[in-house]
Amino acid sequence: MNYKKYFSDELTSLKSQGLYRKFREINRDKKHFPKATERFEGNERAVEVWCSNDYLNLSQHPEVIKKSVEVIQELGTGSGGTRNISGTSSYHADLEKELADLHNKEASLIFPSAYTANQSTLWTLCKKLEGIEVFSDELNHASMIQGIKNANVPCHIFRHNDVDHLRKLLNTSNASVPKLIVLESLYSMEGLRSPLKQIVSLAKEFNALTYLDEVHSVGLYGFEGRGIAEEQNVSDEIDIINGTLSKAFGQMGGYIAASSDIIDFVRSFAPGFIFTSSANPSIAAASIKAIEIAKKSENLRGDIRKNSDLIRNGLRDLEIPHLDNDSHIIPIHLEDPKLCKEAANLLIEEHGIYIQPVFYPTVPKGDERFRVTITPKHQATDIQGFLSSLDQVWNKLSLRRERLSETVNKQVTKIY
């Protein structure tokens, strides 16, 4: 085989489809977020960030930074090993207690990322529970899909948030086999909640385990930011909750929270947990601090709600197609990878607005979009500027304007 030609042809084909990813170098200013500096081609320019997952801006919170630096000064930087071989500090143990408490579970387990937590936990459950059948929402994140796929077990994909379809699929499987329902509480590209109560009740009826990814909701929803399972009062009925330390808590890493036995089981059998070095102790300590702050930050959550309403109202007035959901994630639909990139380039080059175009494989082909994420640090004047810039770019490229499409409305109506 001509390897050189193979790799080069694959990349050329990706580029010709408009699907090639370029990373922008964005240095966020600790004191002035969402203002940041982009370095490109040896120059620098001022930009404003509209697509960060640092939802509460806790990565730049003075107390969190202070804690992180203190622990680096005290223990050094790296953890020194896997959790089993000298890599467990008291900060790791304390963080696991904090996370278990956050989700009202007996125990928790931290991983290098929520991606590994999902992939490794699901792979381990699927491999160990003999005869298992998985029921997975069609919009589940790549990390969950990889975990299930790699285990090579039967997997039924149910239509997004469609409880009737899930029931139909559950009915097809043998009552005696172990079952696992896998879903997210707030879908990352849609900002839509899942019908948790109904799914939990189906899980009970069919004696299925439930695995819930709360990556985009921890810190932001529910009492003290404990997530959407808490908000909908079903936390106790979800068997395994997955979350991240790298979004609302502004650090790095992921975790699962569950009963002591499930956590001990995953701790003992999951290769993605066992055979990798643990997080730096400073990250664990900063995460504890960030969670403490997030719990007390109802005002920040209120600002996010206020800001996202302002954006949605503006988009509606400008007739820019978007999904009218009820969250901090606001998808703006462009539905063409090249146009999506062109609009993003114009926004940054002519208006200093940084929003990353989202395309396949992050979303299906034809579903290309901007995924606006709002933080409490975005001011009303920033929002006005953002909307006006979008308006100008929409005019310049003659992009589609329309009131919300029926499908979008239907989808939202169905869920809330």
Q: Which residues are catalytic?
A: 247
Write the CB contacts of 375 (distance below 8 Å, at least 6 apart in sequence).
33, 34, 52, 54, 55, 56, 57, 304, 307, 328
Taking CB under 6 A as the binding criterion, the range among 35-43, 56-64, 108-116, 395-403 that sits at the site for ligand PLP is 108-116
Kindly state the smallest distance separating residue 246's Cβ from ligand PLP, in Å: 4
Binding mask 195-214 for ligand PLP (x = CB under 6 A): ------------------x-
Binding mask 211-240 for ligand PLP (x = CB under 6 A): --x-x-------------------------
Instruction: Compare residues 47 and 110 and give the one whose CB is closer to ligand PLP.
Output: 110
Distance CA 415, CA 270 (A): 34
Q: Does 137 bind ligand PLP (CB under 6 A)?
A: no
| 369-373: strand order across its sheet | 329-333, 369-373, 357-358
- Tokens 């969250």 found at: 327
Instruction: Compare residues 253 and 376 and give the one whose CB is closer to ligand PLP.
Output: 253
Q: Which of 143, 297, 325, 327 binds ligand PLP (CB under 6 A)?
A: 143
Q: Does 287 bind ligand PLP (CB under 6 A)?
A: no
* 222 Rama class: left (phi>0) / alpha (psi -120 to 50) / beta: left
Helices marked H in 242-360 — which ranges?
A: 260-269, 271-274, 281-295, 298-318, 337-351
Kindly state the smallest distance separating residue 241's Cβ from ligand PLP, in Å: 12
Instruction: Name which of residues 244 to 273 contact ligand PLP (CB under 6 A).
Output: 244, 246, 254
Q: Where are the beta strands (DSSP E) in 25-150?
A: 25-28, 35-40, 43-49, 107-111, 133-137
Among residues 225, 142, 149, 150, which one has the least CA distance to residue 184? 142
Q: Does 141 bind ligand PLP (CB under 6 A)?
A: yes
Q: Does 161 bind ligand PLP (CB under 6 A)?
A: no
Kindly state the smallest distance separating residue 43's Cβ from ligand PLP, in Å: 30
Distance CA 204, CA 201 (A): 5
Kindly state the smallest distance separating residue 331's Cβ from ligand PLP, in Å: 13
Distance CA 238, CA 201 (A): 10
Q: Does 185 bind ligand PLP (CB under 6 A)?
A: no
Instruction: Compare residues 244 and 373 and give the one whose CB is closer to ligand PLP.
Output: 244
Count of residues touching ligand PLP (by CB under 6 A): 13
Q: Does 188 bind ligand PLP (CB under 6 A)?
A: yes
Burial class (CB in 10 A: 0-12, 13-18, 19+), 288: buried
State the maximum Cα–Cα separation within the chain, in Å, rounded to a whole number: 63
Distance CA 141, CA 362 (A): 9
Instruction: Name which of residues 112 to 131 contact ligand PLP (CB under 6 A).
Output: 113-115, 118
Which residues bind to ligand PLP, rule: CB under 6 A?
A: 113-115, 118, 141, 143, 184, 188, 213, 215, 244, 246, 254
